């Protein structure tokens, strides 16, 4: 018996050893790779690997990570640099050629708009416009706001089928923001969003904080139920953001209660606001119970929005929240702070004028970067208008905007260095922490990104951990980051020696497969009552059996 057990034990060891050898064995190091990255500090946040290695890229994928000598058609010397998964920006409102260079300078390889997103019936056109026309990966959620504008305001002036059109809705009628839809209108809104999900949209984006008067709790629940029917996330700008620590927490509790009841993924959009510590704890505790919920931050104390945002009205911003325009509301273009009177005057001329909103404390930013599992979403704002802006437009000629557009990812890395936060924590925030929950939803493109491993897609950002720095400021928000010399997207070098390369064939769509049939079932009072009210049949023998089966 002892001999038999010993034999089985030895056999198990041999089998295990064989498996480990097979797993660790990569491509033939003697072949010629498409791109090789030599002598870099390879960091993989999923496995926590951190070591000096050579990386070989072949056919768009990471073919080998090795200490052996390798050679390729193109070579990057990464000595003294970190070789990291390409940075994933899950909250970028400007997915346009004129900002791609700024995004590459900040190390970003994937741009997603998961907060606003695209107009549901036209999601396919968003992807068609960018196919073969982007050096970075791109994708959008389905926009709650734009569906409401289409139904409640009959808004049809679609320019790009996604977030830029929101400015058109916000400067026109207010039905999208302040109107409670009828049941018929609600079904039409949901039907539009269902069409976007059917066409591969990355879940639903809801800016309910801009629509707090018009959107009921039932409407939010039905949104999350619809996204959950596809197994996809709802990314939410909370109902009471910006608000006090109590209001911010109540806002996320609305989303998390729905996510728990529905078993649906949920994304806490830019929760870097008062009450962030409790919001973070809520997310962690939900994750511990197996829910696919997560959150993002951007590393700035000020936000940015349109001057006519509902939460900037005196009744909310001044009387309820106790803020002073003279200290918290700054014009992006002039740098001047508003008074109540000057705001009212500007609203008559330019209601969607871009402003900075100071809502958080600077000392909180480092705390946000310490939070494990949290992702980075820049909330980069578009330039309005953007006529004449192209890939070639000099950085200094861009209109001013919030510095998060250009510097969010480099700033996270810089602050981690300056505050003794583990570099692996910062690398994880820039890539894996968005890829992982999106991959758990079944999004195949994110199951092979956000990691630096053999077999993964070769989206790679190479930076100098000692010098990487954000240079954008509130005075000039379009100054490019430095210390990130090389970027690779889908195996193609799109930036070398800090010079972006116009390889518009490099970017790929981040999208679910198109489905033949949608999942939406129209809402009706009768169906709800049938499902939830007691009836005599429930207490018959068959009814009692059904209840027991539940």
Q: What's the pLDDT score for residue 114?
A: 98
Share of the chain above pLDDT 70, in %: 92
Nearest by Cα to 118 from 100, 97, 142: 142
One domain, residues 135 and 25: yes
The DSSP H or E segment spanning 128 is helix 123-130
Nearest by Cα to 119 from 59, 186, 166: 166
Split at pLDDT 50, 70, 90, the class of 13 is very low
- Find out whether 381 and 372 touch, Cβ atoms under 8 Å: no
Give 17-86 as a DSSP string: HHHHHHHH--S-TTSEEEEEEEEEEEEETTTTEEEEEEEEEETTEEEEEESS--EEEEEEE-TTSEEEEP
Token code pair at residue 144:
């709650």
One domain, residues 339 and 262: no
Q: What's the pLDDT score for residue 14?
A: 38
- Find out whether 136 and 118 touch, Cβ atoms under 8 Å: no
440-444: list long-range contacts, CB under 8 Å, 24+ apart: 440/265, 440/292, 441/203, 441/231, 441/232, 441/233, 441/265, 441/292, 442/231, 442/512, 443/202, 443/510, 443/512
Q: How do strand 32-44 and strand 82-85 relate by DSSP bridges?
A: parallel
Domain end, chosen from 359, 391, 407, is at 359
Residues in the chain: 550
One domain, residues 336 and 459: no
One domain, residues 444 and 486: yes
Nearest by Cα to 451 from 437, 463, 471, 435: 435
Residue 119, SS3? coil
List the domain range (segments joined by +) for residue 12.
1-301+360-550
How many angstroms separate the CA atoms of 175 and 155, rounded? Answer: 10
- Find out whether 183 and 524 touch, Cβ atoms under 8 Å: yes
One domain, residues 231 and 347: no
CA 127 to chain centre: 17
Q: What's the pLDDT score for residue 24?
A: 47
CB atoms within 10 A of CB 390: 9
One domain, residues 226 and 351: no
Can you give the pTM of this predicted structure? 0.92
- The CATH number of the domain holding residue 296 is 3.20.20.140
Which DSSP state fits 536? G
One domain, residues 250 and 313: no
- Phi and psi (nearest 5°) for 462? -115, 120
On the 0-12 / 13-18 / 19+ scale of CB atoms within 10 A, 447 is middle
How many angstroms separate the CA atoms of 95 and 381, rounded? Answer: 10
- Mind listing the pLDDT tens digit for each residue in 476-493? 999 999 999 999 999 999
Give 155-177 as a DSSP string: ----SSSSTTHHHHHHTS-SHHH
- Find out whether 185 and 152 touch, Cβ atoms under 8 Å: yes
Nearest by Cα to 412 from 432, 425, 426: 426
Is the four-CA dihedral 51, 52, 54, 59 of positive or negative sign? Answer: positive
Q: What's the pLDDT score for residue 6?
A: 46
Domain end, chosen from 330, 359, 388, is at 359
Rounded mean pLDDT, 439-465: 98
- Mind listing the pLDDT tens digit for each residue in 410-445? 999 999 999 999 999 999 999 999 999 999 999 999
One domain, residues 278 and 319: no
Is the four-CA dihedral 97, 103, 107, 113 of positive or negative sign? Answer: negative
Nearest by Cα to 132 from 499, 522, 516, 492: 492
How many angstroms separate the CA atoms of 494 and 480, rounded? Answer: 16
Domain count across the chain: 2
Mean pLDDT of the chain: 92
- Find out whether 377 and 269 touch, Cβ atoms under 8 Å: yes
One domain, residues 228 and 330: no
Nearest by Cα to 402 from 68, 41, 99, 48: 99
- Mind listing the pLDDT tens digit for each residue in 234-288? 999 999 999 999 999 999 999 999 999 999 999 999 999 999 999 999 999 999 9
Rounded mean pLDDT, 527-532: 93
Token code pair at residue 132:
């073969």
- Mind listing the pLDDT tens digit for each residue in 25-70? 568 999 999 999 999 999 999 999 999 999 999 999 999 999 999 9
In terms of pLDDT, which residue wins out, 397 or 2? 397
The DSSP H or E segment spanning 7 is helix 2-24
Nearest by Cα to 452 from 2, 50, 34: 50
One domain, residues 315 and 340: yes
Distances (CA, A) of 549 to 260, 531, 542, 543: 22, 16, 11, 10
Rounded mean pLDDT, 388-394: 93
Q: Which residue has the tokens 């997103």?
A: 117
Q: What's the pLDDT score for residue 172?
A: 74
How many angstroms separate the CA atoms of 493 and 502, rounded? Answer: 10
Domain end, chosen from 359, 394, 428, is at 359
Q: Which residue has the tokens 């005057």?
A: 345
- Mind listing the pLDDT tens digit for each residue in 317-369? 999 999 999 999 999 999 999 999 999 999 999 998 999 999 999 999 999 99
How many angstroms separate the CA atoms of 124 and 113, rounded? Answer: 15
One domain, residues 385 and 430: yes
- Find out whether 427 and 82 touch, Cβ atoms under 8 Å: yes
One domain, residues 349 and 378: no
């Amino acid at each position: 018996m002892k001999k038999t057990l010993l034999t089985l034990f030895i056999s198990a060891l041999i089998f295990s050893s064989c498996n480990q050898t097979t797993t660790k064995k990569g491509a033939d190091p003697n072949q010629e790779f498409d791109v090789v990255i030599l002598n870099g500090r390879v960091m993989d946040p999923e496995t926590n690997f951190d070591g000096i290695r050579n990386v070989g890229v072949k056919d768009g994928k990471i073919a080998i990570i090795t200490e052996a000598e390798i050679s390729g058609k193109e070579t990057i010397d990464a000595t003294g640099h970190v070789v990291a998964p390409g940075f994933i920006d899950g909250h970028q409102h400007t997915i346009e050629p004129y900002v791609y260079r700024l995004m590459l300078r900040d190390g970003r390889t994937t741009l997603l708009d998961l907060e606003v997103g695209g107009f549901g019936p036209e999601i396919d056109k968003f992807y068609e416009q960018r196919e073969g026309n982007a050096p970075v990966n791109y994708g959008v959620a389905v926009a709650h706001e734009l569906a409401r504008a289409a139904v409640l305001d009959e808004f049809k002036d679609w320019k790009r089928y996604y977030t830029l059109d929101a400015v058109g809705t916000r400067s026109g009628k207010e039905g999208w923001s302040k109107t409670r839809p009828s049941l018929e209108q609600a079904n039409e809104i949901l039907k539009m969003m269902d069409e976007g999900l059917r066409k591969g949209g990355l879940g639903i984006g809801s800016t309910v904080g801009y629509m707090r008067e018009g959107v009921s709790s039932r409407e939010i629940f039905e949104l999350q139920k619809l996204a959950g029917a596809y197994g996809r996330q709802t990314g939410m700008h909370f109902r009471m953001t910006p608000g006090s620590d109590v209001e911010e927490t109540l806002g996320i509790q609305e989303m998390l209660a729905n996510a728990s009841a529905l078993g649906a993924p949920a994304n806490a959009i830019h929760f870097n606001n008062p009450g962030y510590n409790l919001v973070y704890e809520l997310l962690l505790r939900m994750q511990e119970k197996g829910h696919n919920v997560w959150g993002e931050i951007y590393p700035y104390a000020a936000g940015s929005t349109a001057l006519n945002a509902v939460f900037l009205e005196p009744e909310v911003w001044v009387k309820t929240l106790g803020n002073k325009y003279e200290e918290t509301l700054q014009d992006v273009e002039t740098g001047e702070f508003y008074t109540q009177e000057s705001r009212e005057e500007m609203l008559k001329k330019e209601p969607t004028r871009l402003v900075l909103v100071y809502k958080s404390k600077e000392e909180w930013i480092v705390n946000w970067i310490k939070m494990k599992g949290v992702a980075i979403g820049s909330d980069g704002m578009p330039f309005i208008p953007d006529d004449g802006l192209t890939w070639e437009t000099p950085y200094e000629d861009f209109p001013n905007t919030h510095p998060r557009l250009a510097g969010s990812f480099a700033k996270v890395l810089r602050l981690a260095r300056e505050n003794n936060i583990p570099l692996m924590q910062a690398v994880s925030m820039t890539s894996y922490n968005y890829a992982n929950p999106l991959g758990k939803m079944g999004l195949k493109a994110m199951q092979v990104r956000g990691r630096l491993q053999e077999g993964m897609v070769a989206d790679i950002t190479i930076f100098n951990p000692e010098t990487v720095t954000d240079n954008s400021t509130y005075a000039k928000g379009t100054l490019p980051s430095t210390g990130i010399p090389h970027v690779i997207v889908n195996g193609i070098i799109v930036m070398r020696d800090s010079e972006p390369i116009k390889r518009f064939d490099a970017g790929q769509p981040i999208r679910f497969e198109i489905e033949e049939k949608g999942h939406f079932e129209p809402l009706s009072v009768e169906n709800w009552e049938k499902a939830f009210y007691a009836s005599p049949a429930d207490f018959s023998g068959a009814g009692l059996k059904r209840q027991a089966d539940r």
